[in-house]
């Protein structure tokens, strides 16, 4: 008997398709559920979910997550975590994650959105929704849908102006690379003191001043940026490449901070060659 060369590949593809179908079925079940899950079952599902997060291995975690979703089919946190165990295509992933956002939004209700507006992350019950939207933004960016991804991040900042998830550090460099000064002004006004301790805001402020043809203001902002984090300049000028592996943590003003934000800040400046030439011409400081 001759086994075709692609037989194993076909079997793997079939298995992946079946597994993905099972996960999408869980999503569909949650979307179709009309009655709210009783509070006791919600609480039980949450308890199982936290047990799953502390599981000793992947198999144990997976089985606990399945128990949790059986107990409460609309537990968005569980659905989001379960997604990691299934081989979804990018298109399926986006579709599923949009659904998880919708499921979480329905559970929160319109009243919660009104009462918690502006400080969404401060309430435990809103966090699965915020994590799901964050994941959706990541997937949209991966799919090349940059405008939609940015809209998700902007909406989450509006919901939670304290921005505990740090979306402003992703948005500001993108605004600068697109020369969108109106949106940049929005973030600068929301976080007016940020450039004194945050690399992204400090170096984007220099670029913003240059784009507004304020040479004097740019030089003053450059002094602040160099004081805040001078390590970033090497990445902006192309003397260093952004690292492939990022540090686990960083302190404000550190080399590690520069490594963490090197790619974003380099992209923002590289969109403006005149600004880079200006920076090269500035006297160096010790």
Q: Give the pLDDT score at 16.
A: 82
Give pLDDT, residue 8. Answer: 40
Nearest of 128, 101, 107 to residue 27 by alpha carbon: 101
Residue in the block written with tokens 């435990």: 124
CA distances (Å), 16 to each of 12, 71, 167, in order?
A: 6, 25, 33
pLDDT score for 5: 54
Supply the DSSP symbol for 241. P
The three-state secondary structure class of 160 is strand
What is the spatial distance between Cα 83 and Cα 96, in angstroms, rounded to a whole number?
A: 8
User: For residue 241, how many other CB atoms are within 10 A of its CB?
Assistant: 11
Pair 99, 68: CB distance under 8 Å: no
pLDDT of residue 7: 47
pLDDT along the chain (286 residues), means of 10: 49 78 95 93 96 95 97 97 95 97 96 93 94 97 96 97 95 97 97 93 98 97 96 96 92 95 96 97 84
- The reported pLDDT for the residue numbered 286 is 61
Kindly list the distances between the CA atom of residue 38 and the CA atoms of 42, 79, 107, 116, 257, in Å, as whole numbers in the listed order: 6, 18, 12, 23, 46
* Cα three-residue angle 250-150-136, rounded to 5 degrees: 85
Nearest to 138 by CA among 92, 97, 196, 105: 97
pLDDT value for 13:
65
């Amino acid at each position: 008997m001759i086994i075709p060369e692609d037989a194993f590949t076909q079997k793997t593809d079939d298995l992946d398709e079946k597994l993905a179908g099972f996960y999408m079925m869980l999503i569909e079940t949650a979307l179709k559920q009309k009655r709210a899950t009783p509070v006791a079952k919600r609480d039980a599902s949450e308890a199982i979910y936290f047990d799953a997060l502390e599981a000793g291995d992947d198999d144990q975690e997976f089985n606990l997550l399945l128990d949790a979703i059986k107990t409460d089919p609309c537990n968005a946190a569980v659905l989001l975590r379960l997604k990691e165990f299934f081989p979804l295509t990018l298109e399926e992933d986006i579709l599923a994650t949009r659904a998880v956002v919708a499921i979480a939004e329905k559970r929160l209700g319109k009243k919660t959105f009104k009462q918690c507006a502006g400080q969404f992350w401060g309430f435990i019950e809103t966090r699965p929704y915020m994590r799901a939207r964050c994941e959706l933004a990541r997937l949209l960016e991966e799919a090349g849908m940059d405008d939609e991804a940015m809209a998700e991040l902007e909406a989450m900042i509006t919901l939670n102006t304290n921005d505990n998830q740090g979306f402003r550090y992703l948005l500001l460099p993108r605004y600068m690379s697109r020369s969108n000064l109106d949106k940049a002004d929005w973030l600068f006004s929301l976080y007016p003191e940020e450039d004194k301790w945050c690399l992204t805001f400090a170096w984007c402020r220099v670029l913003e001043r240059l784009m507004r043809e304020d040479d004097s203001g740019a030089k003053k902002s450059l002094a602040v940026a160099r004081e805040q984090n001078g390590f970033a300049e090497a990445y902006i000028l192309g003397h260093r490449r952004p690292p492939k592996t990022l540090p686990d943590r960083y302190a404000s003003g550190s080399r590690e901070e520069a490594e963490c934000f090197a790619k974003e800040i380099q992209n923002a400046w590289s969109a403006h060659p005149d600004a880079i030439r200006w920076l090269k011409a500035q006297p160096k400081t010790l």
